[in-house]
Structure 1
Amino acid sequence: MDITAAVARGAQVPLALETITLEEPRADEVVVRIVATGVCHTDLVTKSVFPPELPIVLGHEGSGIVEQIGSAVTDVKVGDHVLLTYGSCGTCTQCTTGAPSYCEQFVMLNTSGGRTDFTSPLSIGGERVMGAFFGQSSFATHVLVGRRNVVVVDDDVDLVACAPFGCGVQTGAGAVANVMRPAPHESIVIFGAGGVGMSALLAARALGVENVVAVDLSAERLAVAKELGASTVIDGAAEDVVAQVQAATGGGATFALDTTAANPVIANALLALAPRGTLVLVGLGEAAMEFEIGHLTGNGKAVRGCIEGSCDPQEFIPQLIAWHRAGKFPIEKISRQYPFSEINTAMHDAEIGATIKPILVLPTAD
């Protein structure tokens, strides 16, 4: 079928809305008409590294309505409302033990530009276009996804507001809910109040954590963080960031989350922890950094990575929706909607930080 998609043809070239061919679904695949899709920092990074000779359709926080199902799909039906998430194989040790975000085929399924058999579901005039980005390529009117990318939701779920739940939101919120698992009396410091950091803040507050510190360079974002329940906000450019965190948390935070992937910030996050505190890293930055081993051996601190909130989307996305229904996760306060035709504006606003979480709204079906 012919669809409209935003095709990336190099770092310096704006995305172009083009007519593109989408394959028919294979046995385990589903065709979804996209209603909305979030713009994630990973979209920006990937656009900057894919060369012009490898055109790609990005987007990986889609929501929509199922229009076709493959012959082997039995638990999703045409007309179902769905949120889309990352791909996982379902058969490796990580997947079968409840940790699909650490799937042994994660890279191939999500960032290779195609399926595991090296094919792409997208083409223009018979020429391959890199697709299946995070199993979706949701910067398009329709997508072809694997069954494991699909989370079926109730028909009354707001598909626009909740579109980003499948990646950036679950990354931040899951880091708190699934990795930190804080008690209400414990403290959290979040470095970087973008979409992921704000989602972590919302999750912490939904779990009843009172002492949540937000650190960022933007006064505007810090004001939003304060509105969303941060107990203390700190200018990340201050020389005494660590001292301010320690003062706000009674000697150091129980948990720290770094969303910046900047080595100097990570170093501060480690210093800002209380003894036996845990630093969780969710960003991809420099390949290595130096730190004093004594911070770990002498104080019992821990540093660990986290992919996609260490969550099973089939379980965690319904939790996010439940929080949203209860008014505990007001994603609308950090998001802004853009028509699909303004995708380049949304990408630009995300890049410069003018919008915390852009959401693209697709044209309604005829």
Structure 2
Amino acid sequence: MQIAIVGGSLAGLFAATLLAGDGHKIAIYERSLHGLEGRGAGLLGKRDTFAVLRAAGCEHVARVGVVARERIVFDRVESTVVSEMPPQMQIPWDYLYRTFRNRVSKSYVLGRRVDSVRQDGDQVVVVFDDGGVEMADLAIGADGIASVVRASVDGSRGTNTYAGYVGWRGLLPERSLPAAAAAKLLERFAYFRMPRSHVIGFLVPGPRGETEVGARRYNWVWYRPAPGPVERDTALTDSDGHVHPYSLPPGAVSDRSRAALTEDAERLLPRPFADAIKATDRPLVQGIFDYETENMVSGRIALAGDAAFVVRPHAGMGIAKAAGDAMSLRKHLLSKPAVEALQSYRNERAPLGAAIAASGRELGAQLS
């Protein structure tokens, strides 16, 4: 079959790799001009993540990571509790993305912005913003939180709900950490909590998967309240005064906002975290949203990944959920006609997506 995949991040790449391996003709339409490297940091390996790596013949990715074996928890007076924890490995997002993109590079089309998708008899019509049209036997909407494919599946109900807070994120070379901060933070999972806010930090591999000491990166996330549309839009306003709907990429945060972030960190956070934030040249901001599909499938059109269920990051399950979606699509398309296969996919994955989304909301409840 000819399968159109809208969205070239990991949900789309997982599905594309598995389905291409089964002989389907794949076209992946990614709206960005330059690809998505640099958009992620590290991710926890979960069962479905490892399973999709095995299914795709990419097990080597699971051996590239940074392992934390200690947890450090700060309190308000900067005393700390250090404890052992089960080994926790962070797999590099960029390395995972690059590996899967390389597997389907000939089918990966950059700068191709899809405007709409509709079913026409036993085919799907993909319409692009330049007026171009492509036909396919199936379409998979893996186009994330800003999905345009949702409209073909959930209609006017396909709108995200803002959770009332944002995540400021930073990723910096470990050598950029001041020595005192490095002594506290490196090799550990670090955590500090305050009312309606918390900050975490951990090591991830370097941009090319480097795991040697000195070549890794430190990743921190500070969840902060921004209740209501005014505070949300203020947090998501870039250096040119443009309000972004969901996130600000690295380099878009204004000098004024970055200075305010640094000042707040000095005032509110333990010194090691404040130093890490001050040392970060290009922080980004991620608005936290919720979304649960009502239908997940409509005829020959299916949603996958964040296009179907936007899961708050506290659950650490976004990538694993995308991997599970891809493996389910593959399983059912191997054994059933297309429309029946997508219904079986929906029956299997929709309850799991809803449960993961509920877990994320529960974990983030004290932040809302």
Query: Which has the larger strand fraction?
Result: 2
TM over 0.5: no
What TM-score results when the alignment is normalised by the length of structure 1?
0.27
What TM-score results when the alignment is normalised by the length of structure 2?
0.27
Query: Which has the larger helix fraction?
Result: 2
Structure number with the bigger relative contact order (C-alpha 8 A, sep ≥ 6) is 2
